[in-house]
């Protein structure tokens, strides 16, 4: 997406660079009945940044948001998905990593509890320990604590003390 649709001035074109030759490459920024392709591209990049620890994903999103900042202030209803992305950036990169012993069963209850919470801007990555080599960076270097399912609450890959149970999640309100 970044290679074929990026605009050097920020944001993304609606057509690929290697697509049909047009007089002007369209670049729709405003959300309508459906979100604009640019807003969805930025949302995808924010999610990838949260999983992959790759600053260029985050940087491309911030550059694109600058394109619509003034218009958003004048016509906020035309940029709802963009505002959601801005809110996600302001929430400061909430991440939740869950690792569990492959023989254990308690991870399902923990994951269900985490997903039941109101964490709209958080990304959740989960895998049996040790995570596979192709797992998101968010899961790497997150060992099991006390040889049981472990939950890490992080912001930009800096994590709080991990917890092992729903009771600890409730008690510490670690998000």
pTM of the model: 0.82
CA-to-CA dists, residue 147 to 122, 128, 163, angstroms? 25, 12, 12
Domain residue spans in the chain? 2-90, 94-172
The answer to whether 5 and 41 have CB atoms below 8 angstroms apart is yes
pLDDT at 94: 85
81 CB contacts (<8 Å, ≥6 apart)? 31, 35, 36, 39, 40, 43
**Residue 161 burial (10 A CB sphere; 0-12, 13-18, 19+):** exposed
Structure tokens at 69: 């900042």
CA distances to 63, 112, 158 from 68, rounded to whole Å, are 10, 36, 30
Per-residue pLDDT 10s for the chain (175 aa) are 989 999 998 899 999 999 988 888 999 999 989 999 999 999 999 999 889 888 888 888 888 999 999 999 999 999 999 999 988 888 777 899 999 987 766 678 888 888 888 777 889 999 999 999 999 999 999 999 988 899 999 988 889 999 998 888 887 665 5
Token pair listed for 108: 């399902």
What CA–CA distance (Å, rounded) separates 170 from 4? Answer: 45
pLDDT of residue 83: 92
pLDDT of residue 40: 95
| Parallel/antiparallel/unpaired status of strands 94-101 and 123-129 | parallel
Which ranges constitute the DSSP H helices of 12-159?
A: 37-52, 55-74, 80-90, 107-116
pLDDT at 174: 53
């Amino acid at each position: 997406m970044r290679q074929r649709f990026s605009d050097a001035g920020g944001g993304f074109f609606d057509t690929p660079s290697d697509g049909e030759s047009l007089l002007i490459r369209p670049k729709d920024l405003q959300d309508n009945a459906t979100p604009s392709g640019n807003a969805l591209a930025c949302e995808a990049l924010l999610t990838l940044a949260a999983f992959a620890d790759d600053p260029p994903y985050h940087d491309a999103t911030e550059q694109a948001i600058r394109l619509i900042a003034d218009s958003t202030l004048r016509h906020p209803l035309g940029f709802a998905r963009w505002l959601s992305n801005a809110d996600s950036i302001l929430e400061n990169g909430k991440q939740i990593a869950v690792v569990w012993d492959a023989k254990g069963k308690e991870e399902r209850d923990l994951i269900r509890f985490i997903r039941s919470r109101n964490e709209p801007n958080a990304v959740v990555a989960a895998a049996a320990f040790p995570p596979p080599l192709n797992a998101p960076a968010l899961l790497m270097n997150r060992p099991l604590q006390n040889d049981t399912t472990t939950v890490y609450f992080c912001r930009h890959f800096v994590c709080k003390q991990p917890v092992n149970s729903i009771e600890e999640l409730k008690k510490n309100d670690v998000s």
